[in-house]
Chains A and B, each alone.
Chain A
Amino acid sequence: GQQVMQIPQYQHVQEGEDFTTYCNSSTTLSNIQWYKQRPGGHPVFLIQLVKSGEVKKQKRLTFQFGEAKKNSSLHITATQTTDVGTYFCRLAAGNKLTFGGGTRVLVKP
């Protein structure tokens, strides 16, 4: 079956610093989506990547899809307290959808 690993599990970041979270799949993907879940909230869609090597930006967030379509990364620059939450990748291989375990981000002011 499809295996997904999201690292790191936890990320403690000083406000203003950058960090990256990674999502790795054992199989080639149709697409990958990223979601953010604020503490006590529900997952909210951020972005979808479909093409090999695709890079998309949303303000301070940069999303990248690997050339082999087996991995993805989310890079946040100049972290702010509003970035607190858990970031999940959601993999799609055909009709099979799998969520990664998430990276829980804590920001130190």
Chain B
Amino acid sequence: NAGVTQTPKFRVLKTGQSMTLLCAQDMNHEYMYWYRQDPGMGLRLIHYSVGEGTTAKGEVPDGYNVSRLKKQNFLLGLESAAPSQTSVYFCASCSTSGTDTQYFGPGTRLTVL
């Protein structure tokens, strides 16, 4: 049982490049989330999903897209990376809604030059 895994762990992009971050969970959780954490800051919600095939915008969705084609996977896409998207990205999952523990992945450290 690996919990929540994220791929890749580190990535450096040039401005304008695109990439996809993959989050996978093996706990059969319905809810999945993507957060970004800037240095010394808290967690800001980018997008989330309440089940397979559904996605919704969070607090800071601009510049990102997501897809949840399979229940266990939640993909975060950057179509045209900008330096302002330099951050650590965390994926999290939980079984139902707000009363359950969120399990976080180890994070992806992204630098956009």
Interface size of B as a range: 10 to 19
| B32 nearest CB across to chain A (Å) | 13
Does more than half of chain A's interface fall in helix, strand or loop, or is it mixed?
Answer: strand
Chain B residues within an 8 Å CB radius of A94:
98
Is A44 close to B, CB under 8 A? yes
Is B41 close to A, CB under 8 A? yes
Chain A residues within an 8 Å CB radius of B40:
104
Interface bits B48-72 vs A (CB < 8 Å: 1, else 0): 0000000000000000000000000
Decide if A100 touches B42 in the complex (CB within 8 Å).
yes
Total A-B Cβ pairs within 8 A: 52
Does more than half of chain B's interface fall in helix, strand or loop, or is it mixed?
Answer: loop
Interface bits A18-50 vs B (CB < 8 Å: 1, else 0): 000000000000110101000001111100101
| B9 nearest CB across to chain A (Å) | 12
Identify which of B44, B90, B98 contacts A43 (C-beta below 8 A).
Answer: B90
Decide if A88 touches B43 in the complex (CB within 8 Å).
yes
Q: A42-B107, A44-B104 are in contact. Are A31 and B43 (CB under 8 A)?
A: no
Is B112 close to A, CB under 8 A? no
Chain A residues within an 8 Å CB radius of B43:
43, 88, 99
A residues contacting the other copy or chain, number (CB 8 A) = 26
In the complex formed, the residue of A with least CB distance to B96 is A95
Is B77 close to A, CB under 8 A? no
Identify which of B44, B90, B101, B105 contacts A45 (C-beta below 8 A).
Answer: B101
| A4 nearest CB across to chain B (Å) | 9
In the bound assembly, the distance between CA atoms of A48 and B101 in angstroms comes to 8
Given contacts A48-B99, A101-B42, 6 further A-B contacts (CB under 8 A): A31-B98, A42-B105, A42-B106, A93-B98, A95-B98, A102-B42
Q: Which 10 A-B pairs have the closest CB atoms?
A: A92-B98, A101-B42, A42-B104, A99-B43, A45-B101, A43-B104, A102-B42, A99-B42, A95-B97, A97-B98
